[in-house]
């Protein structure tokens, strides 16, 4: 009798454990589906013809797959009076994002290196002020920045937008690099100084080679911020220099007559693709870089 | 020849906190100077000041006769070994060792030659292609030494280089550093909190406490004639017995009376000293209290003492008793008959005795 009850109770426990595990999986699966739903709708809609969208169901699969909407979105959709699709604006975004990411990451790395390893009088205050920059709402700086860009002769240009993004990225990039470098033992810098290395030599030969994880984090962060930015893009650009986010808005909002949902969806996916790609390629470093940091030397 | 290192009236403050106060030290070529003291005494700060990694608040410092007070570390012709080794984590052992030469633009052939020589000296040839992360603590230690040796500087600086090693390896490396010093005849400054390291390695010891030099001297001077109670207590293991005692002059010296609970006081005679104040702290090393049976000391310097604890330590046996209200340790022969709770006849050798003023802690004789 006792043996029997003992067996039942353990197997009962086992079943409970498995049920719990499966319950968890199912719940997580449902959450994933829920979050993937909009993407699914976007993707299927972008592959349907307008005819089918009007007659069919929002979440049904396309009866006939067509890439027409993608073609139009890329090179034919009208943004106001021009009908060139998102292509030119996509390249504008590339021209803005890549230099802005590179410059802000590099300067952030140098800033972080100084604040963490070459302490100077007022270093803490300097860092606190840099941090403060992370919390300034962008709307507040629109007018002063417009004036600044005007004075610098950069209003409405791509270099102007790069400048704005570099300035507003520095708070974050400095924070990232500072927190990473602060965990690197100060003795490393001291050893290099005794070895005869100067400020840049130490940075270049010792700190940069250690920085891959945090560079990846910063690049992902900055690229996402800059690529997805709309406010600066719409405020500080003019006809030929608008980034893809602004173009997307114009395509969606300035159509007349029938709303081409499939084109809108395709354009939106195109606009989102690069950030998605960056996450997929470098995503695993993102988590690693945020948690890692201590260097055992 | 000018002293290899000369420090005059060095002060170092962090804000309003004084870290180092009026440091004056000079060492000759080939000296091995050890800075020793408890943690927070300023010894590592002093080393960083010598290296130029910390600016000094006031004072002067010269290396080999040249004023280095405001010279940057790279131009001081020094090499330093750090407590954490501070190996460059992304570079191989070979690159770690040659980094300094590379920075200084020394040609590749010379670099290779010096690297090979140092690697052979330290027996790290098989490790040259590895990264620091793949090395054990002892191996990292060797590489850090290699990085310093390859530079052939005027002055070597060591910042507690052995404190991250396990006990056995520490003793091995200690011997190796000593051998290295003898072989190279180089001048070294070495920071440690371990008084045994200080005693074994140094040709000259500086004992620091609270940023103030307590005593400078050879290991023997520091051990035999500590300048104050702090040095007496800090240097030596087990520590020197510091026993409150009363003195009175008699014909040919002084009589020392040590009070005991429930027993008559012990009275000893010291013929080498005179004119001491009535109340003193008597400093006796454990090895100067021995079994009467094994001692060569005059019979009058013997007393029966009740042993509280017996600690056999292999070569010696330590016996602890209560004298003058303090625990007093005697270093007895390993085959002593002493047992806990019983009386033992002990002889007190006062040849190297120290007397300290109880209030100021300063040495009296």
State pLDDT tens for residues B184-214. Answer: 899 999 999 999 999 999 999 999 999 999 9
State pLDDT tens for residues B61-95. Answer: 999 999 999 999 989 999 999 998 899 999 999 99
Q: How far apart are CA B326 and CA B330, in angstroms?
A: 13
Beginning with the edge strand found earlier in the chain, give each strand of the sheet holding B204-209 in spatial order.
B78-81, B155-159, B187-192, B32-36, B204-209, B212-217
Q: Which residues of B touch A195 (CB under 8 A)?
A: 74, 99-100, 103, 147, 151
Q: Is B229 on the interface with A (CB under 8 A)?
A: no
Q: Is B53 on the interface with A (CB under 8 A)?
A: yes
A201 vs B48: CB contact, 8 Å cut-off? no
pTM: 0.80
Could you tell me which chain B residue has the CA closest to the CA of A121? Answer: B15
What's the CATH fold of domain A87-291?
MetI-like fold (1.10.3720)
Which whole number is the average pLDDT over B244-272? 87
Residue count of chain B: 365
B88 vs A297: CB contact, 8 Å cut-off? yes
> For B260-295, b where at least 16 C-beta lie within 10 A, e where not — what string?
beeeeebebbbeebeebeeebbbbbbbebbbbbeeb
Q: How far apart are CA A26 and CA A133, in angstroms?
A: 42
pLDDT at A12: 63
The tens-digit pLDDT sequence of chain A (297 residues) is 444 444 445 556 788 899 999 999 999 999 999 999 999 999 999 998 888 888 878 778 888 888 888 988 898 877 777 778 888 999 999 999 999 999 999 999 999 999 999 888 888 898 899 888 888 888 888 999 999 999 999 988 999 999 999 999 999 999 999 999 998 888 999 999 999 999 999 999 999 998 988 898 899 999 999 999 999 999 998 888 899 999 898 888 876 677 888 888 999 999 999 998 888 888 777 666 555 443 443
Q: Within 10 A of A235 (CB to CB), how many other CB atoms are there? A: 19
Could you tell me which chain A residue has the CA closest to the CA of B105? Answer: A196
Which whole number is the average pLDDT over B176-191? 92
B53 vs A198: CB contact, 8 Å cut-off? no
Q: Is B3 on the interface with A (CB under 8 A)?
A: no
Q: Is B59 on the interface with A (CB under 8 A)?
A: no
Q: Is B189 on the interface with A (CB under 8 A)?
A: no
pLDDT at A288: 65
DSSP for chain A, written as a single string: -HHHHHHHHHHHHHHHHHHHHHHHHHHHHHHHHHHHHHHHHHHHHHTS-HHHHHHS-TTSPPSS---HHHHHHHHT--BTTB--TTHHHHHHHHHHHHHHHHHHHHHHHHHHHHHHHS--TTHHHHHHHHHHHHTS-HHHHHHHHHHHHHHHT-TBSHHHHHHHHHHHHHHHHHHHHHHHHTTS-HHHHHHHHHTT--HHHHIIIIIGGG-HHHHHHHHHHHHHHHHH--HHHHHSB-GGG--HHHHHHHHHHS--SS--HHHHHHHHHHHHHHHHHHHHHHHHHHHHHHH------
A197 vs B99: CB contact, 8 Å cut-off? yes
Residue B295: pLDDT band with limits 50, 70, 90: confident
State yes or no: pLDDT of B168 exceeds 60: yes
CA distance A280 to chain B (A): 27
Type and span of the H or E element at B187: strand B187-192
Helix (H, G, I), strand (E, B) or coil at B270: strand
β pairing state of B5-14 and B354-356: unpaired
pLDDT at A1: 42
Domains of chain B: 5-229 (3.40.50.300), 241-356 (2.40.50.140)
Among the partner-chain residues A197, A201, A297, the one whose CB lies closest to the CB of B87 is A297
Mutate: best of B103, B111, B154, B159, partner A, most A CBs <10 A: B103
Q: How far apart are CA A218 and CA A211, in angstroms?
A: 10
A194 vs B51: CB contact, 8 Å cut-off? yes
Which tokens belong to A212?
A: 């891959």
Helix (H, G, I), strand (E, B) or coil at B294: helix
pLDDT at B230: 95
Which tokens belong to A293?
A: 């940091």
Among the partner-chain residues B89, B103, B151, the one whose CB lies closest to the CB of A297 is B89
- B139 — phi, psi (to 5°)? -65, -40
Q: Which residue has the tokens 């003492």?
A: B305
Which tokens belong to B202?
A: 């140094």
Domain ranges of chain A: 1-36, 87-291
Residues of chain A whose beta carbon is less than 8 angstroms from a beta carbon of chain B are: 185, 187-188, 190-198, 201, 205-206, 209-210, 295-297
Q: DSSP assignment, residue B218?
A: -
Q: What does the radius of gyration of chain A's CA atoms come to, in whole angstroms?
A: 26
A244 closest CA partner among A85, A68, A45:
A85
pLDDT at B181: 92
- B209 — phi, psi (to 5°)? -150, 130
Mutate: best of B44, B45, B73, B189, partner A, most A CBs <10 A: B73
pLDDT at A82: 77
Q: Which residues of A touch B85 (CB under 8 A)?
A: 297
A189 closest CA partner among A76, A282, A94, A113:
A113
In DSSP terms, B256 is beta-bridged to: B247, B268
In DSSP terms, B282 is beta-bridged to: B243, B355
Among the partner-chain residues A197, A210, A296, the one whose CB lies closest to the CB of B90 is A210
Q: How far apart are CA B150 and CA A222, in angstroms?
A: 43
Q: How far apart are CA B156 and CA B263, in angstroms?
A: 55
pLDDT at A296: 41
Which whole number is the average pLDDT over B49-54? 93
ipTM value of the model?
A: 0.82
State pLDDT tens for residues B114-130. Answer: 999 999 988 899 999 99
Which tokens belong to B293?
A: 């049976």
Helices A123-134 and A158-181: crossing angle, nearest 10°?
130
Q: Is B51 on the interface with A (CB under 8 A)?
A: yes
pLDDT at B169: 87
Max intra-chain CA distance, chain B: 78
Residues 89-118 of B with CB under 8 A from A: 89-91, 99-100, 103-104
């Amino acid at each position: 009798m006792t043996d029997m009850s003992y067996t039942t109770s353990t197997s009962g426990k086992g079943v409970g454990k498995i049920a719990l595990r499966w319950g968890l999986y199912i719940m997580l699966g449902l959450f994933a589906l829920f979050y993937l739903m909009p993407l699914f709708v976007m993707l299927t809609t972008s592959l349907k013809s307008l005819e089918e969208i009007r007659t069919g169901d929002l979440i049904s699969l396309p009866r006939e797959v067509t890439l027409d909407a993608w073609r139009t979105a890329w090179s034919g959709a009208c943004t106001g009076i021009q009908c060139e699709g998102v292509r030119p604006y996509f390249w504008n975004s590339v021209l803005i994002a890549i230099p802005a990411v590179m410059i802000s990451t590099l300067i952030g790395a140098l800033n972080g290196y100084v604040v963490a390893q070459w302490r100077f009088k007022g270093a803490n205050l300097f860092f606190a002020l840099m941090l403060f920059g992370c919390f300034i709402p962008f709307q507040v700086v629109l007018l002063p920045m417009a004036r600044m860009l005007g004075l610098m002769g950069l209003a409405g240009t791509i270099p102007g937008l790069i400048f704005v993004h570099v300035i507003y990225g520095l708070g974050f990039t400095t924070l990232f690099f500072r927190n990473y470098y602060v965990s690197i033992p100060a003795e490393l810098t001291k050893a290099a100084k005794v070895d005869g290395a100067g400020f840049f030599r130490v940075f270049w030969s010792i700190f940069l080679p250690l920085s891959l994880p945090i560079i990846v984090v910063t690049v992902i962060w900055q690229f996402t911020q800059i690529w997805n930015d709309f406010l600066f893009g719409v405020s500080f650009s003019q006809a030929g220099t608008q980034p893809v986010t602004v173009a997307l808005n114009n395509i969606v909002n300035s159509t007349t007559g029938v709303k081409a949902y499939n084109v809108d969806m395709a354009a939106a996916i195109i606009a989102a693709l690069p950030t998605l790609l960056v996450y997929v390629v470098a995503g695993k470093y993102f988590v690693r870089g945020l948690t890692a940091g201590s260097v055992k030397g | 020849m000018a002293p290899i290192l000369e420090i005059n009236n060095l002060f170092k403050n962090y804000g309003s906190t004084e870290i180092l106060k009026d440091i004056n030290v000079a060492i000759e070529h080939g000296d091995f100077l050890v800075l020793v003291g408890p943690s927070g005494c300023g010894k590592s700060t002093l080393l960083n000041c010598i290296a130029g990694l910390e600016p000094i608040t006031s004072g002067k410092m010269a290396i080999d006769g040249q004023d280095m007070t405001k010279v940057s570390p790279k131009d001081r012709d020094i090499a330093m070994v750090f407590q954490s080794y501070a190996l460059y984590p992304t570079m191989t052992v070979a690159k770690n060792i040659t980094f300094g030469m590379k920075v200084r633009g020394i040609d590749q052939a010379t670099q290779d030659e010096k690297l090979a020589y140092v690697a052979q000296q330290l027996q790290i040839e098989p490790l040259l292609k590895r990264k620091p992360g793949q090395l054990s603590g002892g191996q990292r230690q060797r590489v850090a030494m290699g990085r310093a040796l390859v530079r052939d500087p005027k002055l070597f600086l060591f910042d507690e280089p052995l404190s991250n090693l396990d006990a056995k390896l520490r003793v091995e490396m200690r011997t190796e550093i000593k051998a290295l010093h003898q072989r190279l005849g180089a001048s070294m400054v070495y920071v440690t909190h371990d008084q045994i390291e200080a005693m074994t390695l140094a040709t000259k010891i500086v004992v620091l406490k609270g940023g103030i030099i307590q005593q400078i001297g050879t290991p023997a001077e520091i051990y035999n004639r500590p300048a104050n109670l702090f040095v007496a207590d800090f240097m030596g293991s087990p520590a020197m017995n510091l026993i409150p005692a009363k003195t009175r002059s008699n014909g040919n010296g002084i009589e020392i009376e040590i009070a005991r609970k429930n027993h008559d006081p012990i009275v000893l005679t010291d013929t080498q000293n005179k004119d001491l104040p009535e109340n003193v702290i008597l400093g006796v090393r454990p090895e100067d209290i021995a079994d009467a049976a094994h001692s060569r000391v005059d019979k009058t310097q013997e007393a029966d003492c009740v042993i509280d604890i017996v600690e056999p330590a292999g070569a010696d046996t330590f016996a602890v008793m209560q004298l003058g209200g303090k625990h007093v340790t005697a270093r007895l022969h390993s085959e002593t008959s002493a047992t806990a709770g019983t009386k033992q006849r002990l002889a007190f050798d006062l040849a190297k005795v120290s007397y300290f003023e109880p209030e100021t802690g300063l040495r009296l004789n």
